[in-house]
């Protein structure tokens, strides 16, 4: 592991040789936070990136190292329309990869309803829940290859409240691996907006793989822009990045070049 510092930026960036090492380190961070507050408010992400983190948290719970009995969870997003019983729904994903393996009470799980009759009303309802809690204690984030966090896709603005979003072609293509075919991927999703993410008291972002290197470079090195939604995290009060070497590769190259050719 190495910790790197980007000139002019204050957020910690930890780089690990492998995805597994990054996931375990992120799990240690999350577990330490939960231990501080039994009724922890934990924001969760889906996709392949946090699976390693969730496996490590399951093991810690089984060993009695952390307790989820009073923890409340708030997921970033859900496909729309989709039944929660659909095996590709994010609720099913969370049950398979975390919820069904820890002592988390079902009534403490919060996630947008993918089969709500009116998605805009569901977005308003979820946003009211998020405003009522005043921000989660810790928000877990992944990042899309286009820089999206949650399903906040590249745009010309940062959308603050929970909303219905049309998924980009790139996101649909990236997520097609989870479905029988690309045509089966939902074209819309309900997602927390940037406002709820920025209200989180702490955030961690985990990224792995070469396909995330450009998005990470843009998010951390370039001026914040809604073209890369993760770049807004440069303004977050307490965000930590856990990257494997491949995801950090373009940042590492930038830093090497800066040292080799100082201005």
CATH of the domain at 238: 3.40.50.1360
The pLDDT of residue 70 is: 98
Domain, as residue range, for 57: 9-258
In a domain, 21, yes or no: yes
> 163 catalytic, yes or no?
no
Residue by residue, pLDDT tens for the chain (263 residues) are 999 999 999 999 999 999 999 999 999 999 999 999 999 999 999 999 999 999 999 999 999 999 999 999 999 999 999 999 999 999 999 999 999 999 999 999 999 999 999 999 999 999 999 999 999 999 999 999 999 999 999 999 999 999 999 999 999 999 998 899 999 999 999 999 999 999 999 999 999 999 999 999 999 999 999 999 999 999 999 999 999 999 999 999 999 887 665 55
The pLDDT of residue 263 is: 52
Residue with tokens 């990869």: 97
The pLDDT of residue 259 is: 60
> 77 catalytic, yes or no?
yes
Q: Cβ atoms within 10 A of the Cβ of 235, count? A: 9
The pLDDT of residue 258 is: 74
The pLDDT of residue 257 is: 82
Query: 132: which residues sit within 8 A by CB, 6+ positions away?
Result: none
Single out the catalytic residue among 78, 153, 174, 244.
Answer: 153
In sign, the C-alpha dihedral spanning 104, 233, 173, 250 is negative
In a domain, 22, yes or no: yes
In a domain, 263, yes or no: no
> 146 catalytic, yes or no?
yes
The pLDDT of residue 40 is: 98
Give Rg (Cα) of the chain.
Answer: 18
In a domain, 2, yes or no: no
Into how many domains does the chain fold?
1
Q: With the CA atoms of 174, 180, 184 and 189 taken in that order, what torsion angle do they form, in degrees rounded to the nearest 10?
A: -50
**Is there a contact between 141 and 240 (Cβ–Cβ < 8 Å)?**
no
The pLDDT of residue 260 is: 60
The pLDDT of residue 135 is: 96
Single out the catalytic residue among 122, 127, 137, 148.
Answer: 148
pTM given for the model: 0.96
In a domain, 85, yes or no: yes
> 115 catalytic, yes or no?
no
Single out the catalytic residue among 78, 122, 146, 174.
Answer: 146
Q: Give dist(CA 116, CA 121) in Å, integer.
A: 8
């Amino acid at each position: 592991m190495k910790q790197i510092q980007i000139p002019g930026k204050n957020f910690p960036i930890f780089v690990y040789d492998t995805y597994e090492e990054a996931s375990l380190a992120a799990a240690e961070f999350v577990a330490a936070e939960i231990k501080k507050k039994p009724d922890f408010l934990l924001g969760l992400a889906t996709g392949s990136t946090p699976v390693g983190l969730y496996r490590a948290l399951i093991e810690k719970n089984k060993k009695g190292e952390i307790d989820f009995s009073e923890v409340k969870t708030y997921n970033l997003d859900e496909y729309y329309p989709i039944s929660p019983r659909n095996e590709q729904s994010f609720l099913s994903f969370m049950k398979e990869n975390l919820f069904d393996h820890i002592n988390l009470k079902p009534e403490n799980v919060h996630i947008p309803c993918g089969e709500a009759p009116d998605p805009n009303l569901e977005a308003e309802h979820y946003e009211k829940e998020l405003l009522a809690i005043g921000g989660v204690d810790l928000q877990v984030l992944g990042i899309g290859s286009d820089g999206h966090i949650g399903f906040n896709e590249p745009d010309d603005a940062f959308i603050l409240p929970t909303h219905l979003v049309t998924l980009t072609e790139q996101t649909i293509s990236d997520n097609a691996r989870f479905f029988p075919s690309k045509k089966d991927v939902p074209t819309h999703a309900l997602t927390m907006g940037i406002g709820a993410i920025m209200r989180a008291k702490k955030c961690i972002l985990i990224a792995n793989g070469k396909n995330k290197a450009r998005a990470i470079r843009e998010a951390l090195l370039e001026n914040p822009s809604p073209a890369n939604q993760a770049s807004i995290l440069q303004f977050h009060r307490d965000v930590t990045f856990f990257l494997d070497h491949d995801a950090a590769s373009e940042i590492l190259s930038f830093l090497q070049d800066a040292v080799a050719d100082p201005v």
